[in-house]
Amino acid sequence: MAIDRTPVLKRCRSLGIEPMYLGIDKKSSRTLTRSSGKMSEYGLQLREKQKAKFIYGILEKPFHNLYNKAQKMQGLAGENLIILLELRLDNVLFRLGLARTRKEARQIVSHKSVLVNGKCVNIPSYRVKVGDKIEIKEKSRSSQKYKEIVEATDGRTPPSWLEADLENLCGTVLERPLREQIDVPVNETLIVELYSK
């Protein structure tokens, strides 16, 4: 599997993202000095796509597949794409506060520690549906790791489309998210423009 080894804060700086969108509290003291040249239209579109891929931790091929799915759905392709990204199991785990970052959420899912409606799911890209109950396996709950995660994510409020129960390490998908409920600094219309070329 391809692994991006670029330092996270450096990548955040180059894409103009605040590290908090990734669940990281650190702030970079350095400022990015860009060349004075104006960025082309293609450059802006590409940067938005890279932002979305970086925030959700997805490689090009699965991202493009999601875009194709989003296009076939009713409504705006860009909004559908962001909603499909939000409904990934690793992202929902992160939003519920059961993981500090999406990367950690992906690892938790891959290690077979997550149950969806009582069944073990180890695919981070699994798409959750309305009414799904996501919980950490009984065996894993007592581990010190989850106590630390809950302490670290205690101040993070889950979005209104999710209901979290951090005491029992579980949560429920109440409804399908709307674009307004997703606080990701990505202009999805530019991604659609880029792919429709």
- In which residue are the tokens 């699994």 written? 126
At 106-140, the pLDDT tens digits run 999 999 999 999 999 999 999 999 999 999 998 88
Angle between helices 60-72 and 41-56 (to 10 degrees): 100
Are both 56 and 93 inside the same structural domain?
no
CATH number for the domain harbouring residue 51:
1.10.1050.10
Q: Which residue stretches of 22-134 are H helix?
A: 41-56, 60-72, 77-86, 89-96, 102-110
Q: Indicate the average pLDDT of the chain.
A: 87
pLDDT digits over 139-157, tens only? 888 888 888 888 888 778 8
Q: Can you tell me the distance from the alpha carbon of 15 to that of 18, in angstroms, rounded to the nearest whole number?
A: 9
In a domain, 46, yes or no: yes
Q: What is the CATH number of the domain that holds 104?
A: 3.10.290.10
Does any domain span residue 3? no
141 located within any domain: yes
Provide the number of structural domains found in the chain.
Answer: 2
Is pLDDT larger for residue 21 or for residue 189? Answer: 189
Mean pLDDT of the region 157-165: 91
Co-location of 128 and 66 in the same domain: no
The pLDDT assigned to 7 comes to 76
Residues 107 and 164 in one domain: yes
CA distance 123 to 195: 26
| 78 shares its domain with 134 | no
The whole domain housing 107 covers 89-176
Residue 80 binned pLDDT confidence (cut-offs 50, 70, 90)? very high
Largest Cα span, the chain: 56
Residues 65 and 135 in one domain: no
For residues 154 and 97, is the Cβ–Cβ distance under 8 A? Answer: yes
What is the reported pLDDT for 197? Answer: 78
